[in-house]
Structure 1
Amino acid sequence: MRDLAWDGYRNARDLGGLPTPLSDGGMTIFGRIARGPRRELLTATGWQDAHRWGLAAVVDLRCEYEIGVRDGDPAIEPDAMPAVQFVHAPTEDQDDPEFREVCFPILDSPEYWHHNWRILPDLVLVSFEAIAAAPSGVLVHCSAGRDRTGMISALLLANAGVGPAEVAADYAESVRAMAGVPTHSPTGDRQASWGDDEVSGWLLKTMPIVEDIAADVDNAFAMIGASSVLRARLREQLTAAHLRQPNAGSGDIRC
């Protein structure tokens, strides 16, 4: 039920349906936040699928140079796309010297996540502010929908009370979904050539990292500089039966 069958768009999942003691129903709520890869992979039918899901906003975590149609992407007529709010909220500054030195060798691993919010906390904060301010029915995506989207999704889920093992399992689903799949990204992705053996070995190493991050979510948000009001708003998006309208306390979008 969590997998989203949007045409042309593999590795798309609803963040609803995961166990949490913070929701009256005992599960994160469907239809609030989805995760996925680059939106240019959606076909016209896929956009309509997303519209039926309730898509109202897209928060794009990519760098500016990554955005746009590439060879192999479906051709979409402008009138085929539903009216959606687009927010560009990159989590990375790839010109930052420390980020390049520390993170570039491990950009396809959750090892880099805590370095991202340590080195560039303001950028990661803006991403969360954008999600908090978005209308219900928001798609969060990067390129493969695995690493940057994985980082943001892991913290969203942990903040909503989802246990570390379930958070890590959600990350693992994206690794499996994108292994052996070209993402039409301008940068290389070694996982695009992986088979089952490489994936299994990788997850043995990386799932414990994700679990540790999820278990220490309070420290992560403290380093990012997220206020209690922002965290509450993010938590409500996945746990509250009825959402309040975003307000100034949720944080301005600086994109």
Structure 2
Amino acid sequence: MTTLAWDGYINARDLGGFPTALSRSGVTAAGRIARGPRRERLTAAGWDDARAWGLASVIDLRCEHEVGPGEGDHVISDAALDGVTIVNAPTEDQNDPEFWETCAPILDSPEYWAHNWRLQPHLVLSALEAIAGSTPGTLVHCSAGRDRTGMISALLLGNAGVDPAAVAADYATSVHAMAAVEQLVPGAEPEEIRSPAEVDEWMRDKLPIVHDTATRTHEVFDLLGVSIATRSALRRLLIAEQPTQ
């Protein structure tokens, strides 16, 4: 994994460089898909950094009410977004009473992922289809870049044949990155600052869920109704070359 140093941005990484037997190079391709937190964190210089990386598309996994600048965010000119296609593709409907009752207590954990697939598979499917149809390089983000983005990243990497241990390590990197951030979203209640040891202890029973997601991605895709064409398109985004037969 490669950390992306975009000004004002944290917890941002390129999904290239992960080990996979599906690529002749042995790793996923860089410059195709990046993951990160809410794009409103980017400064004007950060948008320039993103463009230098090759930013062409943004897939925003947040609910509509979460989108937009808040107090303390940087003022960005409309010109900063010229040529960048932004698609809002929320993975969840928080107004759904069953979803909220089931998932609200565990939204900061991969424990809710399977409930999301069960209760709102059409939304997760739509997000994956939006990524498959995007122009690389694509930034996939939610608010913290940890949970919704972590779920989608695990499925993308699992579909690309990435070692599940590496996928779990990527999720752990995001949890550690955001554990030291007091306020993830402007106007929200401050988060508890946790030490690295506390984070590792919290993740003890969470990382196996991420590992399992990457291991059985194709089963999850079956549940979601992901077409063969979409699976192939997502794989091509992360695989530079298919191995010769």
Regarding TM over 0.5, the answer is: yes
Once the 2 structures are TM-superposed, how far is the Cα of residue 209 of structure 1 from its aligned partner?
1.3
- Provide the rounded CA distance (Å) in 2 between the counterparts of 1:99 and 1:110: 15
Equivalent residue number for residue 185 of structure 2? 184
Q: Give the stretch that moved more between structures: 78-87 or 18-27.
A: 78-87
Q: Deviations over 1:102-157 (max 9, x none)?
A: 11110000010111011100000000000000001000000000000000000000
SS at match of 2:206: helix
Give the gaps of 5 or more residues in structure 2: none
Root-mean-square deviation (CA), in Å? Answer: 1.5
Once the 2 structures are TM-superposed, how far is the Cα of residue 186 of structure 1 from its aligned partner?
5.2
- Provide the rounded CA distance (Å) in 2 between the counterparts of 1:227 and 1:116: 19
C-alpha spacing 1:18/1:189, structure 2 compared with 1 (3 Å): farther
C-alpha spacing 1:166/1:82, structure 2 compared with 1 (3 Å): same
1:43 aligns with 2:7: no
Once the 2 structures are TM-superposed, how far is the Cα of residue 188 of structure 1 from its aligned partner?
4.4
SS at match of 1:136: coil
Q: Give the stretch that moved more between structures: 209-218 or 177-186.
A: 177-186
Equivalent residue number for residue 214 of structure 1? 214
1:90 aligns with 2:90: yes
Q: Deviations over 1:62-120 (max 9, x none)?
A: 00110111111112122234420000000010111211111111000001011101110
Equivalent residue number for residue 138 of structure 2? 138
Do the aligned partners of 1:66 and 1:185 also contact (CA within 8 Å) in 2? no
What letter is aligned with 2:110? P
Equivalent residue number for residue 102 of structure 1? 102
Give the gaps of 5 or more residues in structure 1: 243-255
C-alpha spacing 1:148/1:189, structure 2 compared with 1 (3 Å): farther
- Provide the rounded CA distance (Å) in 1 between the counterparts of 2:190 and 2:178: 10
Do the aligned partners of 2:55 and 2:139 also contact (CA within 8 Å) in 1? yes
Do the aligned partners of 1:47 and 1:82 also contact (CA within 8 Å) in 2? no
C-alpha spacing 1:18/1:81, structure 2 compared with 1 (3 Å): same
Once the 2 structures are TM-superposed, how far is the Cα of residue 214 of structure 1 from its aligned partner?
1.3
- Provide the rounded CA distance (Å) in 2 between the counterparts of 1:22 and 1:189: 42
C-alpha spacing 1:7/1:238, structure 2 compared with 1 (3 Å): same
SS at match of 1:80: helix
What letter is aligned with 1:166? A
Equivalent residue number for residue 72 of structure 2? 72
Moved over 6 A (4+): none
- Provide the rounded CA distance (Å) in 2 between the counterparts of 1:230 and 1:109: 27
Do the aligned partners of 1:92 and 1:116 also contact (CA within 8 Å) in 2? yes
State how 1:1-255 maps to structure 2 within 5 Å.
2-181=2-181, 182-185=183-186, 187-188=188-189, 190=191, 192-241=192-241
- Provide the rounded CA distance (Å) in 2 between the counterparts of 1:16 and 1:240: 10
Once the 2 structures are TM-superposed, how far is the Cα of residue 198 of structure 1 from its aligned partner?
1.9
Do the aligned partners of 2:71 and 2:187 also contact (CA within 8 Å) in 1? no
Do the aligned partners of 1:16 and 1:27 also contact (CA within 8 Å) in 2? yes
- Provide the rounded CA distance (Å) in 2 between the counterparts of 1:108 and 1:185: 17
Do the aligned partners of 1:61 and 1:90 also contact (CA within 8 Å) in 2? yes
Q: Give the stretch that moved more between structures: 10-19 or 178-187.
A: 178-187
What letter is aligned with 2:170? D
Would you say how many aligned residue pairs link Structure 1 and Structure 2? 241
Q: Give the stretch that moved more between structures: 211-220 or 137-146.
A: 211-220
Once the 2 structures are TM-superposed, how far is the Cα of residue 187 of structure 1 from its aligned partner?
4.7
Once the 2 structures are TM-superposed, how far is the Cα of residue 185 of structure 1 from its aligned partner?
5.0
Q: Give the stretch that moved more between structures: 177-186 or 232-241.
A: 177-186
C-alpha spacing 1:197/1:209, structure 2 compared with 1 (3 Å): same
C-alpha spacing 1:186/1:227, structure 2 compared with 1 (3 Å): farther
